[in-house]
Amino acid sequence: MLKQKITLKHIAKELEVSISTVSKALKNSEEISRDTKEKIQAFAKLYNYKPNNIAISLKNKRTKNIGVVIPDIVHHFFTTVVRGIEKFANTKGYNVIVCLSDESFDKEVINMEMLANGSIDGFIMSLSSETQYKDDYNHLKEVTEQGIPLVLFDRVTNQVDCDRIIIDDQMGAYMATKKLIDEGRKKIALITTKNYLSVSKARTEGYMKALRDNNMEINSELILKMSSMNMEEELFKTFFDNTEVDAVLSVNEIFAISGMRYIKQKGKRIPEDISFIGFTDGLLSKYANPSLTAIAQHGEKMGEMAAEMLIQKVESENDEETYKTKILEPTLIERDSTIN
């Protein structure tokens, strides 16, 4: 019993009026007589008429869809951002199409091309690590040159004309490092990833700036660069076995948690012997033992703002070529892995 989706045409035929009469009647146009309107509206309601989104999109050249391209979705931060985007977009009647680049340049390109062919009104995205590594943003440029609005968040570039929203990663690292210095820590390690990731770079700078501002030496032996998000156990152990450290700042939760575990295993106490602070205030930080002092990135807020910026651009008539970069301030969430 397939209740085929009903169209204006069906209603028109059934009620023996023209399609445009139906269309107008359903929009409560003054042009149409009360009688006809009531008849048509009643019929439409009875058969649960709803206009076809696709037809409207084609007509209006507006899809009411936002394309979101992120490197990974099994990742707390990105997930909170998506939630924020979805939340705001929904209030404005927009849907969210999520594509995953899986940290791959090619997938990022393919996804954007698919969506750019009319499926979406604008993009919100965070660059894949490979894209940042290759430093190639032609796919973004092509999109913006077509007049499709783009908002980059978190992992961004300034080589493209678009809006941006980031947290002040440098400040976050600075705050955290400062906190450790204030605790009296002298050998503050930084666990980070390779520098082509924009955020890692900024965080490293914040760390170094805090040390310099407090007349502390920057010791490259205290900086551990992991080559990927995946743990390389050996590298890790070698580092902690051979380096004297009394505090650790990590650019992500996993490194921090793994570090804490290894440190505890070695019989040291947290935070008495070593303090830990990690970026990204996710579930792991909250439920770690001891709970991890963390730098919150306010992903949901970021998502909402990104969506707001995008929709504002999408719906603004004048395509003025002004782009803004918003910078959110991170927050230090103090927990038990540092001394308060």
Q: Which residues bind DNA (CB under 7 A)?
A: 7-9, 16-21, 23-24, 26-27, 29, 31-33, 35-37, 50-52, 55-56, 58-59, 61
CB of 68: closest distance to a copy of itself in angstroms?
8
287 binds, among a copy of itself, DNA, none (CB under 5 to 8 A by kind): a copy of itself
Question: How many Cα atoms are found within 13 Å in the side-chain-facing hemisphere of 248?
Answer: 32
Query: What minimum distance in Å lies between the beta carbon of 125 and DNA?
Result: 24
- Own/partner pairs for 46-50, CB < 8 Å, 24+ apart? 47/6, 47/10, 47/11, 48/6, 49/6, 49/7, 49/8, 49/11, 50/5
* 17 binds, options a copy of itself, DNA, none, Cβ within 5 to 8 A by partner type: DNA
Residue with smaller CB distance to a copy of itself, 212 or 261: 261
> Of the two residues 33 and 90, which places its CB atom closer to a copy of itself in the complex?
90
What is the per-residue burial (b if ≥16 Cβ within 10 Å, else e) of 209-246? bbbeeeebeeeeebbbebeeeeeeeeebeebbeeeebb
Q: Which is nearer to a copy of itself, 58 or 218 (CB)?
A: 58
Q: What is the DSSP letter of 272?
A: T
- Can you give the binding site for a copy of itself, defined by CB under 8 A? 1-5, 48, 50-55, 57-58, 63, 65, 72-76, 79-80, 82-83, 86-87, 90, 93, 95-100, 107, 111, 113-119, 142, 145-147, 254, 257-258, 261, 264, 283-284, 287-289, 319
CB 124 within 8 A of CB 151: yes
Which CB sits closer to a copy of itself, 36 or 104?
A: 104
| CA distance linking residue 66 with residue 310, whole number of Å | 9
- Minimum Å gap between C-beta 243 and a copy of itself is 22
Q: How far is the CB of 285 from a copy of itself (least distance, A)?
A: 10
CB of 258 to a copy of itself, least distance (A): 7
State how far the Cα of 78 lies from the Cα of 303, in Å rounded to an integer: 9
